[in-house]
Amino acid sequence: MTHPTLSDVVSCLSDYDPDALPVAQAQQIIRTFVTPVNAVEKVALRAALDRVLATDIVSPIDVPAHDNSAMDGYALRSADLDADAAAVLQIIGTAYAGKRYDGAVGKGQCVRIMTGAVMPVECDTVVPQEFTKNASDSSVTVPAGMVRAGDNRRFKGEDLQAGKPALSKGKILRPADIGLLASLGIAEAPVQRRLRVAFFSTGDELRSIGEPLDEGCVYDSNRYTLYGMLTRLGCDMIDMGVVKDDPASLEAAFRCACESADAIITSGGVSVGAADYTKQMMAQMGDVTFWKIGMRPGRPMAFGKISSNGRSAYLFGLPGNPVAVMVTFYFFARDALLHMMGAQMPPLPLMRATSRSAIRKKPGRTEYQRGILSLDANGNQQVDITGAQGSGILRSMSEANCMVVLHHEQGSVHAGDPVDVLLFDGLI
Ligand code: AMP
Ligand code: MG
């Protein structure tokens, strides 16, 4: 099957306009165009943390393997209990976790049992130790009404059943998941190989830290935010530094990135009017489109696929402004990279919060304002905007704990109106 070109993909959209592209359409085009990298490796369980599971895992065993006790107490036959009177039961033995009681349990008898110990066959209920009275070595009293039949018994296979799916392919393995695999006795997990992402910054005004800051120059901060965001996604990175805005350097950088990575992320040089060679080189090297997206911050963006010497890589040409880089990364590159990694992630949930202030907003573009979500005196969620929202003001991201998402069609917000927020936790 030949891979569709970008023009194939956009030809399916009736109202495609690269100069006024809604966020949702850009996301849809990217999602259709990128394909997962299918390469599997087996890693030891601990090393599988935060990796993408490459195959479904079917449970080889029942967990737990036997019916067992959920409490320290006495295993008994519920038929021996009386709804109106205390029952005095004879203790005939003890069941420990890992050491079962093998004898038969007759009428009026019980077994002292520890949490996790296998239930004696005849017993269906456990009365917790603290509910009993007059316990001696040979007998114990269970007052009326303390337990119902079946209480405090954990069933064989109630956590995971042999032959049933335990984890699905595409899951990003979290602490609970590697614990769950351990509970199945699985020592190694099949995971997708890490995605390789090359990135560089473009712009003659950029200086790397350690260099003197010449007149009119700025330190390159985008490579550091990109490093952070890519690290959180679990990518392998090729940091290619700052690339000067001249054709030879840019071509060399794009070729090198293309030949060594699955995806390339650049920042800067994609806005209109930029007198530079970045866009020219991107267009020359492959199937790349230049968008003006209906969003703030982050309007200009390049997207496509470039090739060099028979190797190709997806390209995300992000804008230069530091906040725009982060926002376009989170709302376009992140989802595409996760898809390339083979991850199956449900969309991040938006939460509702009351905006403490009025926010001016024009319908026809999506805005991502940086916010601080907190609780008011009544425990309700409220959100404040983190001061100046310029796309060059990285402090607005640093101070925020969420993004206030003002949707495409939405207009201005009045103080006290509910707004949608996306928490940074989960996103980053
Ligand atoms: P551009 O998209 O190249 O026109 O850049 C837009 C703005 O972002 C300019 O003010 C640049 O100086 C700034 N900028 C571009 N790249 C970086 C970077 N790597 N680190 C910090 N600021 C940058
Ligand atoms: Mg520039």
Note the pLDDT tens digit of each residue in 152-193: 999 999 999 999 999 999 999 999 999 999 999 999 999 999
380 and 365 co-located in one domain: yes
CB of 204 closer than 6 A to ligand 1?
no
**Each residue of 317-368: pLDDT tens digit?**
999 999 999 999 999 999 999 999 999 998 899 999 999 999 999 999 999 9
Q: Where are the alpha helices (DSSP H) in 206-333?
A: 222-233, 247-260, 278-284, 322-328
CB of 217 closer than 6 A to ligand 1?
no
Kindly state the average pLDDT of the residues 204-226: 96
* CATH number reported for the structural domain that contains residue 372 in this entry: 2.40.340.10
* CATH number reported for the structural domain that contains residue 56 in this entry: 3.90.105.10
200 and 187 co-located in one domain: no
364 and 397 co-located in one domain: yes
205 and 185 co-located in one domain: no
Using the 3D structure, point to which of 340, 359, 379 is the last residue of a domain. Answer: 340
- The whole-number pLDDT of residue 1 equals 55
200 and 292 co-located in one domain: yes
CB of 328 closer than 6 A to ligand 1?
no
Q: How far is the CA of 235 from the centre of ligand 2 (A)?
A: 26
Decide if 1 is inside a domain: no
Decide if 345 is inside a domain: no
Contact call for residues 27 and 347 (beta carbons, < 8 A): no
pLDDT band at residue 125 using 50, 70 and 90 as cut-offs = very high
* CATH number reported for the structural domain that contains residue 219 in this entry: 3.40.980.10
DSSP state of 207: E
Decide if 186 is inside a domain: yes
- The whole-number pLDDT of residue 384 equals 98
Decide if 346 is inside a domain: no
CB of 203 closer than 6 A to ligand 1?
yes
Kindly state the average pLDDT of the residues 390-412: 97
CB of 342 closer than 6 A to ligand 1?
no
pLDDT band at residue 14 using 50, 70 and 90 as cut-offs = confident
Give the C-alpha separation, 224 to 337, whole Å: 18
Contact call for residues 117 and 96 (beta carbons, < 8 A): yes
- The whole-number pLDDT of residue 173 equals 97
- The whole-number pLDDT of residue 283 equals 94
Decide if 20 is inside a domain: yes
Inter-CA distances, 334 with 204, 324, 343, 362, 428, Å: 27, 14, 11, 26, 10
Kindly state the average pLDDT of the residues 288-316: 96
Contact partners, residue 388, CB within 8 Å, separation at least 6? 396
214 and 358 co-located in one domain: no
The pLDDT of residue 273 is above 70: no
Query: DSSP string spanning 25-92?
Result: HHHHHHHHH------EEEEEGGGGTTSBB-S-EE-SS-BSSS-EESSSEEEE-GGG--SSS-EEEEEE
Contact partners, residue 205, CB within 8 Å, separation at least 6? 216, 217, 218
Using the 3D structure, point to which of 340, 368, 401 is the last residue of a domain. Answer: 340
185 and 51 co-located in one domain: yes
Q: How many domains does the chain have?
A: 4
**Can you say how many angstroms the Cα of residue 26 is from the centroid of all Cα atoms in its chain?**
21
Cα torsion 206, 402, 197, 227 to 10°: value is 50
- The whole-number pLDDT of residue 275 equals 61
- The whole-number pLDDT of residue 4 equals 87
Give the C-alpha separation, 54 to 228, whole Å: 25
The bridge status of strand 300-308 relative to strand 68-69 is: unpaired
Domain that holds residue 34: 6-39+194-340
Using the 3D structure, point to which of 95, 129, 154 is the last residue of a domain. Answer: 154
Residue found by looking up tokens 């209990």 in the block: 81
179 and 221 co-located in one domain: no
Burial class of residue 134, CB neighbours in 10 A (0-12, 13-18, 19+):
exposed
143 and 264 co-located in one domain: no
Please give the model's pTM, rounded to 2 decimal places. 0.93
Give the C-alpha separation, 149 to 282, whole Å: 71
Kindly state the average pLDDT of the residues 76-93: 96
* CATH number reported for the structural domain that contains residue 92 in this entry: 2.170.190.11
Decide if 103 is inside a domain: yes
**Each residue of 21-63: pLDDT tens digit?**
999 999 999 999 999 999 999 999 999 999 999 999 999 999 9
Decide if 296 is inside a domain: yes
Residue found by looking up tokens 């064989």 in the block: 156
pLDDT mean across residues, the chain: 96
The pLDDT of residue 426 is above 90: no
- Supply the residue whose CA is at minimum distance from atom 15 of ligand 1: 320
Give the C-alpha separation, 198 to 215, whole Å: 29
- The whole-number pLDDT of residue 19 equals 94
pLDDT band at residue 271 using 50, 70 and 90 as cut-offs = confident
207 and 308 co-located in one domain: yes
Closest CA to 152 of 137, 166, 131: 131
- The whole-number pLDDT of residue 315 equals 98
Neighbours of 234 (CB within 10 A): 19
Residue % of the chain over a pLDDT of 70:
99
50 and 162 co-located in one domain: yes
Of 206, 214, 393, the residue with max ligand 1 atoms within 8 A of its CB, to mutate for a pocket test, comes to: 206
- Supply the residue whose CA is at minimum distance from atom 6 of ligand 1: 320
253 and 317 co-located in one domain: yes
